[in-house]
Amino acid sequence: MWKNALCLLVTFICFLRGSTLSQKLCPPRPDEDLIFRATFAHDRFYVDVEHGNDNWNGRISFPADGEGPFKTLSGAIDGIRKSRTSVRKRATLFVRSGNYFVSKPIVLDARDKYLSLVGYPGDERPLLSGAHKISGKNFEPFNQNVFVASINGKCSNHIFLGRKRLVRARKPNLRRWTGQDMTGQGPYLKIKHMFHNSFGCNRKGSGGFRQEECHWGNKNGFEFKKGDIDHKWSNPETGNILVFHAWTAERGNIKSVVGNHVNFTSSLRSPIGNHPKPSGWRYIIEHIFEELDTTGEYFCDEKRKLLFIIPPSEALKHEDVFISSTRTLFIVQNTKGIEFVDLEFRHSNDRAKVKYNPRPALLEFNKADVASIYHCAFSNVGHTAIFLYNSSTNVKIAGNSFYNIGYIAISTSSGTRNLLIRRNTFEGCGVWNMFQPSCIHVRGMKKIIVKENRISYTPYAGMRIGSQQTFKQDYVREGEYVFYIEKNDVRNYGLGILNDFGGIYLSPNVACSGPEATSTFCHLHARVAFNTIHHSSAYYYGAHGIYGDLAVSSLTVEKNWLYNLDGAAVVFLCGKRNFALNNMIYHIDKSRVLGTCSVIAGRGVLLKQDLTFKKNVIFVSNVYARMWRPLDEWIYDVPQVDGNVYYFSHENSSQVFDFFPKYKSWNEWKSSTFNDLRSVIDNPQYWNLAGKDYRLKRTSVARQIGIQSVDLRKVRSRSGIC
């Protein structure tokens, strides 16, 4: 009955209801009935790029009797402003399938209160793109492999062939182009010499890990190995050099190549040479015409307005090329109740020299209240996909997918309150910008909830929390937090590209480092629980599980599964009131299991720390692993370590004699610190090691000493939306 009434109202939809949708579509289209029922009482409008007209009133979904849907999104927004009955009543703009190219940001403000933009149920999900499209058929053969087309607008660092990201002509070439590649991916070239060597900073890399006092002149270029950079390149200044440091990689624009020196037009942020081993002295040359030599590469000639590409054979017959050009598609500002539902967003551009700046973002929320982004698909994004700033509140981002994101998929600024990021799938972040990239970076001041997301495929962290002004210890009540990070699955991060990060990486601001750091205001108040974090890899060091950097304090890390990591399970670099409780750890790496305070955080001075590491199960399968490593220290307060189960799974029993902190044996450790008095060394009996099932068997000794079995199989298999 109800359904029939609805069908009378929107007859056309009932025809479409039967149409089959691709099973692979992610996120799946929401329940159509639900959408219509939900919008029953709304002011409804329609936009149809193929059949619409901005002079129509937009009140019906298909053209009839001289009326019909709007044609463009901006036309629709203008039209709705004129004809909506009230901004207090919700209006829904149904977006019919088609490609909506947005060439400048559409601003939604107070006039657009309570407006929902919804992909029309039953249709294919509409595409909202910031690209210039060039039809594949417009390309002409340039030589045997290379095709060329002229372009209208500017070049971009983000160009796609169909859904695949093209790579700027690089040296060395990728081993094999997939269209989902990280720009930071090897193989690499190696820097031969630094411009300025000193005793404390030289190419030999005294100290290996880090050398101080590198001359600023090393920000301006370097000396390369003969032949690596070619003097015959006609226009070397079209190129970039991607230089790797420890936890960042950045691009220098080539100014000149003289002799064996390459000089940059402007200085890098960090000098070459600071981190010899973690950088590996790696670099990649990008965007040189003469290096356009393999499938998947492009070169864009800004002066002559020509785009050269090497497509897979025949691809241009059925694929188009998209040049990302619009930086921001929507800005939602000073308004309330905006919703984006069931739309597909692609092809935003970035800006030169953005470094750590999260802007531009494809969707920006400036001082927005009560907004939601639901069941949308974001992909092929140049920089950030969604950025909330200027105290945006009550925002919900749920059930979306994010693929191939240039920098960060979701970023929020520190004034954010009441944010929910739930059940999204992220695959491929930090594809282009490597200033400590991650899929999610939340900053905020109240109730920031990140749960049930699936995050994978980043060259650095899975998600970042903080890097902001932190709080006093009593900022929240006992048992409450600012950040709730729960039931997320974070996997395949690091990818052997950068160093020093965590699947979940929590940090304060720099005021919480250095000798003056005081942890009275370094409390982040985060609970990190029931997450599965696994399969990480660093280039040289530090693909940790959960990582609290500097003196970040008031972290509770509990009941997570942490396994197959290329680094420590948990690191509390320094800080106070940090707890790791009841985590299930399967440690395969040669390095330490638990990271503690070190003079690095205090820049030479050891800060005070208190941490509690209790009721954890530490199953160690690597004979070289230790609980601790020499750089980690404490001189004031010994950590509280107790109620744990340790187990060493190999035959070689030497480890147990020096596994414990400061290379102590089990007995020495216990008797000298009174730690681990209730802990045991025994097989914890994980349910199924090969199946990576870290529940505890009934007979497990861990259960006997009060450790709870944690079942996170569903977190691992069902997180995300895809």
Ligand X SMILES: *[C@@H]1O[C@H](CO)[C@@H](O)[C@H](O)[C@H]1NC(C)=O
Q: Which residue number, 262 or 601, has a Cβ lying nearer to ligand X? A: 262
Both tokens of residue 704? Answer: 């006997």
Cβ-based nearer residue to ligand X, 272 or 307? 272
Comparing CB distances to ligand X, the nearer of 260 and 372 is 260
Residues 368, 336 contacting (CB under 8 angstroms): yes
Q: What is the Cα 415 distance to its own chain's centre?
A: 20
Q: Whole-number minimum distance, CB 335 to ligand X, in Å?
A: 14
Q: Please report how close the Cβ of residue 669 comes to ligand X at its closest, in angstroms.
A: 16
- Compute the distance between CA of residue 177 and CA of residue 165 in angstroms, rounded to an integer: 9
Q: How far is the CB of 623 from ligand X (least distance, A)?
A: 4
Taking the complex as a whole, how short is the minimal distance between the CB of residue 217 and ligand X, in angstroms? 4
Cβ neighbors of 163 (< 8 A, separation 6 or more) are: 179, 379, 380
Given a contact cutoff of 8 angstroms between Cβ atoms, the answer to whether 491 and 565 are in contact is: no
Smallest gap from residue 231 Cβ to ligand X (A)? 13
CB of 170 to ligand X, least distance (A): 23
Query: What is the per-residue DSSP string for 345-404?
Result: EE-----TT-TT---SEEEEEES-EEEEEES-EEEEESSEEEEEESS-EEEEEES-EEEE
Contact 416, 334 (CB under 8 A): no
Which region holds residue 718: left if phi is over 0, alpha if psi is between -120 and 50, else beta? alpha
Q: Which is nearer to ligand X, 391 or 473 (CB)?
A: 391
To ligand X, the closest distance from the beta carbon of 331 in angstroms equals 9
Q: Find the shortest distance in angstroms from Cβ 640 to ligand X.
A: 27
Question: Which letter, b or e, does each residue of 147-184 get, where b requires 16 or more Cβ atoms within 10 Å of its Cβ?
Answer: bbbebeeebbbbbbbeebbbbbbbbebbeebebebbbb
CA 400, CA 545: separation in Å to the nearest integer? 25
Report the residue number, 233 or 687, with the smaller CB distance to ligand X.
233
Q: Three-state secondary structure along 593-643?
A: CEECCECCCCCCCCCCEEEEEECCEEEECCCCCECCCCCECCCCCCCEEEC
With H, G, I as helix, E, B as strand and everything else as coil, classify residue 572: strand
Cβ proximity to ligand X: between 392 and 453 the closer is 392
Q: Tell me the closest approach of the beta carbon of residue 254 to ligand X, in angstroms.
A: 11
Q: Which is nearer to ligand X, 152 or 652 (CB)?
A: 652
By beta-carbon proximity to ligand X, the closer residue of 34 and 258 is 258
256 strand-pairing partners: 263
Strand order of the sheet with strand 147-150? 140-141, 147-150, 306-309, 297-301, 167-168
333/673 with CB nearer ligand X: 333
Nearer to ligand X, 221 or 337 (CB): 221
Q: State the nearest-atom distance from the C-beta of 213 to ligand X, in Å.
A: 17
Residues pairing with 441 in the sheet: 411, 464
- Nearest-10 Cα torsion for 507, 508, 509, 515: -100
- CA 123 to chain CA centroid, nearest Å: 30
**Least distance to ligand X, CB of residue 413, Å:** 7
Least distance to ligand X from the beta carbon of 401, Å?
A: 27
CB nearer to ligand X: give 606 or 623: 623
Q: Which of 42, 366, 391, 379 is nearest to 179 (CA)?
A: 379
Residue 525 near residue 482 (C-beta atoms within 8 A): yes
Q: Which of 291, 221, 227 lies closest to 256 in space, CA to CA?
A: 221
Residue 51 or 662: the one with the smaller Cβ distance to ligand X is 662
Identify which of residues 221 and 575 has a Cβ nearer to ligand X in the complex.
221
Distances, alpha carbon 279 to alpha carbons 28, 209, 237, 276, in Å? 41, 9, 24, 6
Which stretches of the chain bind ligand X, using CB under 6 A? 195, 217, 220-221, 256, 258, 261, 263, 366, 389-390, 623-624, 652, 654-655
* DSSP string computed for 452-513: S-EEEEESS-SEEEE-S--B-GGGS-TT--SEEEES-EEEEESTTT--SEEEEEEE--GGGS
**Nearest approach, Cβ of residue 236 and ligand X (Å):** 12
Choice between 246 and 272, CB closer to ligand X = 272
Q: How far is the CB of 715 from ligand X (least distance, A)?
A: 33
Residue (624 or 636) nearer to ligand X, CB: 624
3-state helix, strand, coil in the chain (%, to 5): 10, 35, 50
For residue 690, give the nearest of 597, 598, 590, 563 by alpha carbon.
563
Q: How far apart are CA 363 and CA 515, in angstroms?
A: 40
Q: Given the complex with ligand X, which of 638 and 656 has the nearer CB atom?
A: 656
| Cα→Cα distances 576→200, 204, 522, 541, 612, Å | 34, 38, 8, 25, 9
Q: Shortest approach of ligand X to residue 416 CB, angstroms?
A: 12
Tokens 């699936």 -> residue: 454
CB of 333 to ligand X, least distance (A): 8
